[in-house]
Chains A and B, each alone.
Chain A
Amino acid sequence: MQTIIALAPLVSHRLCLAPPPFPRHRLLCRRAPSIRLPSHRSSTTSFRLLSSFAASRDSEMATEDGQDPRIPKIASSIRVIPDFPKPGIMFHDITTLLLDTEAFKDTIDLFVERYKGKGISVVAGVEARGFIFGPPIALAIGAKFVPMRKPKKLPGKVISEEYSLEYGTDKIEMHVGAVEPGERAIIIDDLIATGGTLSAAVRLLERVGVKIVECACVIELPECKGREKLGETPLFILISSA
Chain B
Amino acid sequence: DPRPQAISDAIRVIPHFPKTGIMFQDITMLLLDPVAFKHVVDIFVDRYKHMNISLVAGVEARGFIFGSPIALAIGAKFIPIRKPGKLHGRVISEEYELEYGSDRLEMSMEAVKSYERALVIDDLVATGATLSASISLWVTRAGAEVVECACLVGLPRFKGQCRLKGKPLYVLVEPSHFDGLTI
Task: Name A residues whose Cβ lies closer than 8 Å to a Cβ of B.
Answer: 79, 81, 84, 91, 93, 95-96, 98-101, 104-105, 108, 127-129, 131-133, 135-136, 138-139, 142-147, 149, 152-157, 175, 178
Q: Mark B55-80, 1 if CB is under 8 A from A, else 0.
A: 00010111011101101100111111
Contact with B80, one of A95, A135, A144 (Cβ below 8 angstroms)? A95
B41 within 8 A of A: yes
CB contact list, B131-183 vs A, under 8 A = 183
Q: Would A136 and B89 be within 8 Å (CB), given that A98-B78, A157-B183 are in contact?
A: no
Distance in Å: Cβ of A90 to nearest Cβ of chain B = 13
- Which residues of the other chain, B, contact A146 by a CB distance below 8 angstroms? 28, 31-32
Query: What is the chain B residue whose CB lies nearest that of A147?
Result: B28
Please determine whether A139 and B69 come into contact, CB atoms closer than 8 angstroms.
Answer: yes
Please determine whether A156 and B111 come into contact, CB atoms closer than 8 angstroms.
Answer: no
Contact with B64, one of A131, A143, A153, A155 (Cβ below 8 angstroms)? A131
- Which residues of the other chain, A, contact B68 by a CB distance below 8 angstroms? 131-133, 135-136
Q: For the complex, what is the distance from the CA of A135 to the CA of B111, rounded to whole Å?
A: 24
Query: What is the chain A residue whose CB lies nearest that of B22?
Result: A155
- Which residues of the other chain, B, contact A127 by a CB distance below 8 angstroms? 61
Query: What is the chain B residue whose CB lies nearest that of A140?
Result: B69
Task: Name B residues whose Cβ lies closer than 8 Å to a Cβ of A.
Answer: 12, 14, 17-18, 24, 26, 28, 31-34, 37-38, 41, 58, 60-62, 64-66, 68-69, 71-72, 75-80, 82, 86-89, 108, 110-111, 183
Q: Would A147 and B65 be within 8 Å (CB), given that A79-B88, A139-B34 are in contact?
A: yes
Q: For the complex, what is the distance from the CA of A132 to the CA of B32, rounded to whole Å?
A: 16
Distance in Å: Cβ of A241 to nearest Cβ of chain B = 16
Q: For the complex, what is the distance from the CA of A104 to the CA of B31, rounded to whole Å?
A: 21
Please determine whether A178 and B28 come into contact, CB atoms closer than 8 angstroms.
Answer: yes
Q: A96-B110, A99-B111, A132-B80 are in contact. List 13 more A-B contacts (CB 8 A).
A: A79-B89, A81-B88, A93-B89, A101-B77, A108-B72, A127-B61, A128-B82, A131-B68, A136-B69, A145-B31, A147-B61, A153-B61, A178-B32
Please determine whether B26 and A155 come into contact, CB atoms closer than 8 angstroms.
Answer: yes
Please determine whether B183 and A145 come into contact, CB atoms closer than 8 angstroms.
Answer: no
- Which residues of the other chain, A, contact B34 by a CB distance below 8 angstroms? 138-139, 142-144
Query: What is the chain B residue whose CB lies nearest that of A84?
Result: B88
Q: For the complex, what is the distance from the CA of A129 to the CA of B37, rounded to whole Å?
A: 19
Please determine whether A155 and B24 come into contact, CB atoms closer than 8 angstroms.
Answer: yes
Please determine whether B32 and A135 come into contact, CB atoms closer than 8 angstroms.
Answer: no
- Which residues of the other chain, B, contact A132 by a CB distance below 8 angstroms? 58, 64, 68, 78, 80
Query: What is the chain A residue whose CB lies nearest that of B107?
Result: A95
Please determine whether B78 and A104 come into contact, CB atoms closer than 8 angstroms.
Answer: yes
